[in-house]
Amino acid sequence: MKFSIIISILLTISTISPVAQSQKIIIVTLDGMRWQEIFRGVDTALMSGKKYVADSQQIANQFWDNQLEERRKKLFPFIWNVVAQKGQLLGNRDYKNYVNCSNRYKFSYPGYNEMFTGYPDTLVNSNDKRWNQNENVLEFLHQFKEHKGKIAAFTTWDVFPYIFNNKRNGLYVNADKDSFNFQTPELQLLNDMQFITTRPIGVRPDVFTYFAAREYLKQYKPDVLYIAFDETDDFAHSGKYDQYLMSAHAEDKMLADLWALLQKLPEYQGKTTLIVTTDHGRGNYDINNWKHHGEKIKEADEIWIAAIGASIPAKGELQMPAQYFQKQIASTIAAMMGKNFIANHPVAPRIIFE
Protein backbone atom coordinates (compact mmCIF):
# COMPACT_ATOMS: atom_id res chain seq x y z
CA MET A 1 0.00 0.00 0.00
CA LYS A 2 2.77 2.42 0.97
CA PHE A 3 4.67 1.57 -2.24
CA SER A 4 1.59 2.39 -4.34
CA ILE A 5 1.21 5.74 -2.60
CA ILE A 6 4.88 6.59 -3.20
CA ILE A 7 4.59 5.71 -6.91
CA SER A 8 1.43 7.84 -7.17
CA ILE A 9 3.21 10.81 -5.59
CA LEU A 10 6.25 10.43 -7.87
CA LEU A 11 4.09 10.30 -10.98
CA THR A 12 2.20 13.38 -9.84
CA ILE A 13 5.30 15.49 -9.19
CA SER A 14 6.85 14.30 -12.44
CA THR A 15 4.40 16.36 -14.47
CA ILE A 16 5.99 19.58 -15.70
CA SER A 17 4.85 22.48 -17.83
CA PRO A 18 7.52 24.98 -18.99
CA VAL A 19 8.21 23.21 -22.32
CA ALA A 20 6.41 23.50 -25.63
CA GLN A 21 4.64 20.16 -25.41
CA SER A 22 3.67 17.47 -27.89
CA GLN A 23 0.88 14.95 -27.70
CA LYS A 24 2.89 12.48 -29.77
CA ILE A 25 6.62 11.75 -30.09
CA ILE A 26 8.33 9.81 -32.86
CA ILE A 27 12.02 8.89 -32.45
CA VAL A 28 14.06 7.50 -35.35
CA THR A 29 17.71 6.41 -35.23
CA LEU A 30 20.14 5.81 -38.09
CA ASP A 31 22.70 3.46 -36.56
CA GLY A 32 26.29 4.68 -36.83
CA MET A 33 25.44 7.54 -39.21
CA ARG A 34 28.33 10.03 -39.20
CA TRP A 35 27.76 13.76 -38.69
CA GLN A 36 30.16 14.36 -41.59
CA GLU A 37 27.67 13.08 -44.19
CA ILE A 38 24.73 14.74 -42.46
CA PHE A 39 26.31 18.20 -42.60
CA ARG A 40 28.80 17.90 -45.49
CA GLY A 41 27.27 15.32 -47.80
CA VAL A 42 29.21 12.61 -49.57
CA ASP A 43 32.90 12.35 -48.62
CA THR A 44 35.09 12.78 -51.73
CA ALA A 45 37.99 10.82 -50.30
CA LEU A 46 35.76 7.81 -49.68
CA MET A 47 33.78 8.20 -52.88
CA SER A 48 36.85 8.13 -55.12
CA GLY A 49 38.43 4.87 -56.17
CA LYS A 50 37.17 1.30 -55.86
CA LYS A 51 38.23 0.43 -52.33
CA TYR A 52 34.89 1.39 -50.76
CA VAL A 53 32.71 2.16 -53.81
CA ALA A 54 31.91 -0.19 -56.69
CA ASP A 55 31.03 2.60 -59.13
CA SER A 56 32.41 6.02 -58.17
CA GLN A 57 30.85 7.74 -61.16
CA GLN A 58 27.39 6.48 -60.32
CA ILE A 59 27.74 7.73 -56.74
CA ALA A 60 29.07 11.08 -57.97
CA ASN A 61 26.19 11.45 -60.42
CA GLN A 62 23.66 10.84 -57.68
CA PHE A 63 25.17 12.60 -54.68
CA TRP A 64 28.02 14.93 -55.65
CA ASP A 65 27.86 18.70 -56.04
CA ASN A 66 30.65 21.27 -55.71
CA GLN A 67 28.49 23.34 -53.35
CA LEU A 68 28.32 21.85 -49.85
CA GLU A 69 24.74 23.02 -49.31
CA GLU A 70 23.56 21.28 -52.47
CA ARG A 71 25.67 18.19 -51.85
CA ARG A 72 24.10 17.46 -48.48
CA LYS A 73 20.62 18.12 -49.89
CA LYS A 74 21.22 15.45 -52.52
CA LEU A 75 22.00 12.88 -49.86
CA PHE A 76 19.40 14.00 -47.27
CA PRO A 77 16.68 15.98 -49.06
CA PHE A 78 14.13 15.67 -46.24
CA ILE A 79 16.57 16.74 -43.55
CA TRP A 80 17.79 19.76 -45.50
CA ASN A 81 14.61 20.82 -47.31
CA VAL A 82 12.18 20.25 -44.44
CA VAL A 83 13.86 19.85 -41.02
CA ALA A 84 16.39 22.60 -41.72
CA GLN A 85 13.52 24.94 -42.65
CA LYS A 86 10.95 24.06 -39.99
CA GLY A 87 12.96 22.42 -37.21
CA GLN A 88 16.48 22.34 -35.81
CA LEU A 89 19.74 20.54 -36.57
CA LEU A 90 22.32 20.13 -33.80
CA GLY A 91 25.86 18.85 -34.20
CA ASN A 92 27.61 20.63 -37.06
CA ARG A 93 31.11 20.62 -35.64
CA ASP A 94 32.30 22.98 -38.37
CA TYR A 95 30.48 25.65 -36.35
CA LYS A 96 31.65 24.26 -33.00
CA ASN A 97 28.12 23.06 -32.39
CA TYR A 98 28.80 19.78 -30.65
CA VAL A 99 26.72 16.73 -29.78
CA ASN A 100 28.60 13.89 -28.07
CA CYS A 101 28.06 10.53 -26.45
CA SER A 102 29.03 10.55 -22.80
CA ASN A 103 29.62 6.80 -22.55
CA ARG A 104 33.23 5.88 -23.20
CA TYR A 105 32.52 2.75 -25.23
CA LYS A 106 31.08 4.43 -28.33
CA PHE A 107 29.16 1.48 -29.75
CA SER A 108 25.53 0.50 -29.99
CA TYR A 109 24.14 -0.95 -26.72
CA PRO A 110 25.91 1.65 -24.54
CA GLY A 111 24.73 4.39 -26.93
CA TYR A 112 21.09 3.34 -26.95
CA ASN A 113 21.19 2.85 -23.19
CA GLU A 114 22.52 6.40 -22.76
CA MET A 115 19.98 7.79 -25.22
CA PHE A 116 16.90 6.29 -23.58
CA THR A 117 17.90 6.13 -19.90
CA GLY A 118 19.81 9.42 -19.66
CA TYR A 119 22.53 7.53 -17.84
CA PRO A 120 25.87 6.54 -19.46
CA ASP A 121 26.29 3.50 -17.25
CA THR A 122 29.86 2.12 -17.23
CA LEU A 123 28.43 -1.35 -16.57
CA VAL A 124 26.67 -1.31 -19.95
CA ASN A 125 29.80 -2.22 -21.89
CA SER A 126 28.90 -4.85 -24.50
CA ASN A 127 26.38 -5.62 -27.24
CA ASP A 128 25.44 -8.91 -25.61
CA LYS A 129 21.77 -9.78 -25.10
CA ARG A 130 21.58 -8.85 -21.44
CA TRP A 131 18.49 -7.42 -19.79
CA ASN A 132 19.15 -3.76 -19.08
CA GLN A 133 18.81 -2.90 -15.40
CA ASN A 134 18.48 0.82 -16.07
CA GLU A 135 15.00 2.28 -16.45
CA ASN A 136 14.29 3.95 -19.78
CA VAL A 137 12.08 6.89 -20.68
CA LEU A 138 9.68 4.75 -22.72
CA GLU A 139 8.80 2.55 -19.76
CA PHE A 140 8.60 5.66 -17.57
CA LEU A 141 5.95 7.16 -19.87
CA HIS A 142 4.26 3.76 -20.08
CA GLN A 143 3.48 4.01 -16.34
CA PHE A 144 1.04 6.84 -16.93
CA LYS A 145 -2.56 5.84 -17.48
CA GLU A 146 -2.92 8.04 -20.56
CA HIS A 147 0.05 6.35 -22.29
CA LYS A 148 -0.43 2.76 -21.14
CA GLY A 149 -0.35 0.45 -24.15
CA LYS A 150 0.36 3.38 -26.47
CA ILE A 151 4.14 3.09 -26.75
CA ALA A 152 5.89 0.86 -29.27
CA ALA A 153 9.29 0.23 -30.84
CA PHE A 154 10.08 -1.29 -34.24
CA THR A 155 13.74 -2.14 -34.66
CA THR A 156 15.93 -3.93 -37.18
CA TRP A 157 18.50 -5.02 -34.58
CA ASP A 158 17.38 -7.92 -32.40
CA VAL A 159 19.05 -6.67 -29.20
CA PHE A 160 16.47 -3.94 -28.53
CA PRO A 161 14.12 -6.08 -26.42
CA TYR A 162 17.06 -6.41 -24.01
CA ILE A 163 18.04 -2.73 -24.21
CA PHE A 164 14.46 -1.73 -23.30
CA ASN A 165 14.03 -4.75 -21.00
CA ASN A 166 10.48 -5.39 -22.14
CA LYS A 167 10.45 -8.54 -20.00
CA ARG A 168 10.35 -6.16 -17.03
CA ASN A 169 8.04 -3.44 -18.29
CA GLY A 170 5.81 -4.97 -20.98
CA LEU A 171 6.74 -2.48 -23.73
CA TYR A 172 5.88 -3.65 -27.24
CA VAL A 173 9.20 -4.09 -29.05
CA ASN A 174 9.13 -5.65 -32.51
CA ALA A 175 12.69 -6.59 -33.44
CA ASP A 176 14.22 -8.36 -36.44
CA LYS A 177 12.47 -11.73 -36.92
CA ASP A 178 9.47 -11.02 -34.72
CA SER A 179 6.21 -11.75 -36.47
CA PHE A 180 3.73 -8.93 -36.98
CA ASN A 181 0.95 -10.52 -35.00
CA PHE A 182 -1.79 -8.09 -35.95
CA GLN A 183 -4.90 -8.88 -37.91
CA THR A 184 -4.52 -6.42 -40.76
CA PRO A 185 -3.87 -7.44 -44.38
CA GLU A 186 -0.97 -4.98 -44.64
CA LEU A 187 0.90 -6.34 -41.64
CA GLN A 188 0.22 -9.93 -42.66
CA LEU A 189 1.71 -9.21 -46.11
CA LEU A 190 4.77 -7.54 -44.55
CA ASN A 191 5.18 -10.51 -42.25
CA ASP A 192 5.23 -12.92 -45.21
CA MET A 193 7.66 -10.71 -47.14
CA GLN A 194 10.17 -10.29 -44.31
CA PHE A 195 10.66 -14.04 -44.04
CA ILE A 196 11.07 -14.55 -47.79
CA THR A 197 13.34 -11.61 -48.67
CA THR A 198 17.13 -11.71 -48.73
CA ARG A 199 18.91 -10.48 -45.61
CA PRO A 200 22.15 -8.84 -46.81
CA ILE A 201 23.18 -7.65 -43.34
CA GLY A 202 21.91 -10.70 -41.44
CA VAL A 203 18.75 -9.06 -40.11
CA ARG A 204 15.57 -7.93 -41.84
CA PRO A 205 16.03 -4.97 -44.20
CA ASP A 206 15.28 -1.54 -42.73
CA VAL A 207 12.48 -0.98 -45.22
CA PHE A 208 10.45 -3.78 -43.60
CA THR A 209 11.05 -2.33 -40.15
CA TYR A 210 9.83 1.02 -41.45
CA PHE A 211 6.70 -0.17 -43.20
CA ALA A 212 5.73 -2.34 -40.24
CA ALA A 213 6.07 0.69 -37.96
CA ARG A 214 4.12 2.84 -40.42
CA GLU A 215 1.23 0.39 -40.65
CA TYR A 216 1.20 0.00 -36.86
CA LEU A 217 1.05 3.80 -36.50
CA LYS A 218 -1.87 4.05 -38.94
CA GLN A 219 -3.77 1.27 -37.23
CA TYR A 220 -3.06 1.79 -33.52
CA LYS A 221 -2.09 5.50 -33.21
CA PRO A 222 0.64 5.17 -30.52
CA ASP A 223 1.59 8.19 -28.40
CA VAL A 224 5.29 7.33 -28.63
CA LEU A 225 6.82 5.36 -31.49
CA TYR A 226 10.47 4.44 -31.88
CA ILE A 227 11.94 3.23 -35.20
CA ALA A 228 15.54 1.96 -35.23
CA PHE A 229 17.33 1.46 -38.56
CA ASP A 230 20.54 -0.56 -38.78
CA GLU A 231 21.85 -0.79 -42.34
CA THR A 232 24.12 2.27 -42.27
CA ASP A 233 26.24 0.78 -39.49
CA ASP A 234 26.43 -2.68 -41.02
CA PHE A 235 27.41 -1.46 -44.48
CA ALA A 236 30.01 0.86 -42.94
CA HIS A 237 31.57 -2.02 -41.01
CA SER A 238 31.70 -3.96 -44.29
CA GLY A 239 33.56 -1.10 -45.95
CA LYS A 240 30.76 -0.55 -48.47
CA TYR A 241 30.60 3.22 -48.55
CA ASP A 242 28.27 3.22 -51.56
CA GLN A 243 25.73 1.03 -49.77
CA TYR A 244 26.13 3.10 -46.60
CA LEU A 245 25.16 6.18 -48.64
CA MET A 246 22.31 4.44 -50.44
CA SER A 247 20.84 3.21 -47.15
CA ALA A 248 21.16 6.66 -45.58
CA HIS A 249 19.42 8.20 -48.60
CA ALA A 250 16.64 5.59 -48.44
CA GLU A 251 16.14 6.24 -44.74
CA ASP A 252 15.81 9.96 -45.46
CA LYS A 253 13.03 9.02 -47.91
CA MET A 254 11.37 7.00 -45.16
CA LEU A 255 11.55 10.02 -42.86
CA ALA A 256 9.92 12.15 -45.56
CA ASP A 257 7.18 9.55 -46.06
CA LEU A 258 6.60 9.32 -42.30
CA TRP A 259 6.42 13.10 -41.85
CA ALA A 260 3.97 13.41 -44.76
CA LEU A 261 1.77 10.75 -43.15
CA LEU A 262 1.84 12.54 -39.79
CA GLN A 263 0.55 15.70 -41.49
CA LYS A 264 -2.45 13.78 -42.86
CA LEU A 265 -3.56 12.05 -39.68
CA PRO A 266 -5.65 14.27 -37.36
CA GLU A 267 -4.28 12.49 -34.29
CA TYR A 268 -0.75 13.66 -35.22
CA GLN A 269 -1.04 16.79 -37.34
CA GLY A 270 0.36 19.78 -35.46
CA LYS A 271 0.69 17.71 -32.27
CA THR A 272 3.79 15.64 -32.97
CA THR A 273 7.55 16.03 -32.58
CA LEU A 274 9.96 13.94 -34.64
CA ILE A 275 13.47 13.39 -33.27
CA VAL A 276 16.15 11.81 -35.48
CA THR A 277 19.61 10.91 -34.20
CA THR A 278 22.25 8.17 -33.99
CA ASP A 279 23.78 5.92 -31.35
CA HIS A 280 27.45 6.71 -32.08
CA GLY A 281 29.77 8.28 -34.60
CA ARG A 282 32.62 6.79 -36.62
CA GLY A 283 36.21 7.46 -37.54
CA ASN A 284 37.08 10.48 -39.66
CA TYR A 285 40.68 11.59 -40.06
CA ASP A 286 42.12 8.26 -41.23
CA ILE A 287 40.47 7.18 -44.49
CA ASN A 288 40.11 3.63 -43.13
CA ASN A 289 38.71 4.60 -39.72
CA TRP A 290 35.31 5.60 -41.12
CA LYS A 291 34.41 1.90 -40.96
CA HIS A 292 34.99 1.71 -37.22
CA HIS A 293 33.91 3.04 -33.85
CA GLY A 294 34.49 2.13 -30.21
CA GLU A 295 36.84 3.19 -27.42
CA LYS A 296 39.92 3.30 -29.65
CA ILE A 297 38.33 5.63 -32.23
CA LYS A 298 38.57 9.08 -30.69
CA GLU A 299 35.92 10.82 -32.81
CA ALA A 300 33.37 7.98 -32.55
CA ASP A 301 31.55 9.88 -29.81
CA GLU A 302 30.64 12.67 -32.27
CA ILE A 303 26.92 12.51 -33.07
CA TRP A 304 24.05 14.79 -34.18
CA ILE A 305 20.37 15.46 -33.54
CA ALA A 306 17.60 16.61 -35.89
CA ALA A 307 14.18 17.60 -34.57
CA ILE A 308 10.98 19.05 -36.00
CA GLY A 309 7.44 19.49 -34.78
CA ALA A 310 5.27 20.82 -32.00
CA SER A 311 8.05 21.20 -29.41
CA ILE A 312 10.70 22.62 -31.75
CA PRO A 313 11.04 26.31 -32.73
CA ALA A 314 12.03 26.65 -36.39
CA LYS A 315 15.67 27.79 -36.14
CA GLY A 316 17.23 25.47 -38.70
CA GLU A 317 20.89 24.48 -38.57
CA LEU A 318 22.41 25.79 -35.35
CA GLN A 319 25.59 27.67 -36.24
CA MET A 320 26.66 28.89 -32.82
CA PRO A 321 29.10 27.20 -30.41
CA ALA A 322 27.25 24.87 -28.04
CA GLN A 323 27.63 21.50 -26.35
CA TYR A 324 24.89 18.87 -26.12
CA PHE A 325 25.03 15.25 -25.01
CA GLN A 326 23.29 12.04 -25.97
CA LYS A 327 22.35 11.49 -22.32
CA GLN A 328 20.04 14.53 -22.50
CA ILE A 329 17.71 12.94 -25.04
CA ALA A 330 15.74 10.83 -22.54
CA SER A 331 14.66 13.71 -20.31
CA THR A 332 14.00 15.80 -23.43
CA ILE A 333 11.51 13.20 -24.68
CA ALA A 334 9.77 13.16 -21.31
CA ALA A 335 9.68 16.97 -21.11
CA MET A 336 8.10 17.20 -24.55
CA MET A 337 5.32 14.97 -23.20
CA GLY A 338 4.98 17.22 -20.15
CA LYS A 339 6.81 14.93 -17.75
CA ASN A 340 9.96 15.03 -15.63
CA PHE A 341 11.81 11.75 -16.19
CA ILE A 342 12.42 9.94 -12.88
CA ALA A 343 14.36 6.66 -12.86
CA ASN A 344 16.30 4.24 -10.65
CA HIS A 345 19.53 6.03 -11.56
CA PRO A 346 20.78 9.59 -12.24
CA VAL A 347 19.23 11.28 -15.27
CA ALA A 348 20.85 14.07 -17.28
CA PRO A 349 18.89 17.33 -17.76
CA ARG A 350 16.97 17.93 -20.98
CA ILE A 351 18.04 19.85 -24.05
CA ILE A 352 16.33 23.23 -24.21
CA PHE A 353 15.16 23.95 -27.76
CA GLU A 354 14.79 27.74 -27.83
Q: How does pLDDT run across 111-135, given as a tens digit for each residue? A: 999 999 999 999 999 999 999 999 9
256 lies in some domain: yes
Is residue 259 within 8 Å of 78, Cβ to Cβ?
Answer: yes
343 lies in some domain: no
Tell me what pLDDT residue 176 has.
79
221 lies in some domain: yes
User: How many residues appear in the chain?
Assistant: 354
- Pick the range with the lowest mean pLDDT from 91-105, 167-181, 233-247: 167-181
CA angle (38, 276, 280) in 5-degree steps: 65
Tell me what pLDDT residue 261 has.
98
Mean per-residue pLDDT of the chain = 92
352 lies in some domain: no
In the chain, alpha helices (H): 2-13, 35-40, 44-47, 56-63, 68-75, 77-78, 84-86, 108-117, 137-142, 160-164, 166-169, 185-196, 206-220, 231-237, 241-264, 329-336
Mean pLDDT over 331-347 rounds to 97
In sequence order, the 6+-apart residues with CB closer than 8 A to the CB of 102 are 114, 120, 301, 325, 326, 327, 348
Residue 272, pLDDT above cutoff 90: yes
96 lies in some domain: yes
- In angstroms, the CA 268 to CA 266 distance is 5
| Confidence class for position 185, pLDDT limits 50, 70, 90 | confident
The pTM score is 0.93
- Measured over all CA atoms, what is the biggest interatomic distance in the chain, rounded to whole angstroms? 69
Tell me what pLDDT residue 19 has.
66
Mean pLDDT over 55-81 rounds to 97
For residue 290, give the amino acid letter. W
**3-state SS assignment for residue 49:** coil
111 lies in some domain: yes
- In angstroms, the CA 138 to CA 203 distance is 24
253 lies in some domain: yes
By residue range, what is the domain housing residue 199?
2-336
353 lies in some domain: no
| Confidence class for position 6, pLDDT limits 50, 70, 90 | very low
Supply the CATH number for residue 93's domain. 3.40.720.10
Domain count for the chain, please give it. 1
